[in-house]
Chains A and B, each alone.
Chain A
Amino acid sequence: MIVVNTETIPGYEIVALKGLVQGNTIRAKHLGRDMAAGLKNLLGGELRGYTELLIEARRQALERMLAQAEQLEANAVVNVRFTTSAVTQGAAELYAYGTAVVAHEIAGKAEA
């Protein structure tokens, strides 16, 4: 599965449009991580626990989106966008969406 956030895929030709695909996940933070974050708030710096949490959550949203694309028998997703929103205090929704398409490699161009 090719995933890009451009409208076209370099070296490929889009032959069929399959429609919008989307995936989301809502995550709450961990108490231990929140305490570590409280300490970091005094000293400054990166909150690794939160960064990892968000990487994980975003990957899951992306995987759910890709599962939808697979169901539509697409082999690529173009124009992928991400958004984040706070649902309640302490929880965030991560949302990924894009357009599932069928793309074929342009013959001869890949070698050029």
Chain B
Amino acid sequence: MPLQFWLQVVPFVVLITLGFTVGGFVERRHLKRLAAWEAELADILVTDLKKLPVEVSAQHCGLVMGEVVIASDYFKTVAAKFKGMFGGELSTFQTLMDRARREALVRLMKRAKAMGANRVYNVRFESSNIGAMRRNKPSAMVELYAYGTAVHVPEQDASE
């Protein structure tokens, strides 16, 4: 009985602490990187407007996309399950979605920049739950996908 008890409790505790420490580290590092990338790509204007302003003359347009599949750590998954019993906001998953969306957008902007574009129009976001597709293992894995039309607008027009 005590051995069986420990066999159940010890892995759980190890996984939780591993998730808390490593997962927390990964998240902080990711947020720092995102902030750096966003600062570097600040010259690219991103909008979800469909129609281009008439006065703008644009060149080299093309579809750009950015996508990322991101997973929550064990600690957060357990914490969210616990919190889910009482309802309310699940802030652990909120940061997960936020990170994924920002990462997808950063990748989209990087590709736009590589194309020589300085604006991305008609940006759309799409997300799908990968975790629900896994058998017997409902886990928090989410795919975030961003796409838009990259255009290059010459400097003299860009100010308008």
Contacts and interface: CB of A to CB of B under 8 A. Distances in A.
B19 A46 contact: no
Interface in B49-80: 50-52, 56-59, 61-63, 65, 67-74, 76-77
Contacts of B61: 2, 4, 6, 9-11
Interface string A85-96: 110011110000
Contacts of B137: 38, 41
A64 interface: no
A44 B69 contact: no
A55 interface: yes
Contact of A43 (B23, B69, B147): B23
Interface stretch (B2-10, B36-44, B83-91, B138-146): B138-146
Interface string B121-160: 1101010111011110101110101011101000000000
Contacts of B128: 84-86, 92
Contacts of A7: 50-51
A105 to B, nearest CB: 10
Contacts of A90: 133-135
B130 A50 contact: yes
A89 B133 CA distance: 5
Given A43-B19, A45-B26, A91-B133, A109 B57 contact: yes
Given A44-B26, A51-B68, A86-B128, A4 B62 contact: yes
Given A11-B61, A51-B68, A82-B126, A41 B52 contact: no
Nearest to B70: A46
Given A5-B149, A34-B134, A50-B130, A42 B18 contact: yes
Interface of A: 2-11, 29, 34, 37-38, 40-47, 50-51, 54-55, 58, 62, 80-86, 89-92, 109-110, 112
26 contacts: A4-B63, A4-B122, A6-B149, A7-B50, A8-B52, A10-B61, A10-B151, A11-B61, A41-B71, A41-B74, A41-B139, A41-B141, A42-B23, A42-B73, A44-B76, A45-B71, A45-B73, A47-B69, A47-B70, A47-B141, A50-B143, A55-B67, A62-B63, A86-B128, A86-B129, A109-B57
Given A5-B147, A8-B52, A9-B61, 19 more contacts: A4-B61, A5-B148, A6-B61, A10-B58, A10-B61, A37-B71, A41-B74, A43-B18, A44-B22, A44-B23, A45-B30, A47-B71, A50-B69, A51-B68, A58-B65, A83-B126, A84-B126, A86-B128, A86-B132
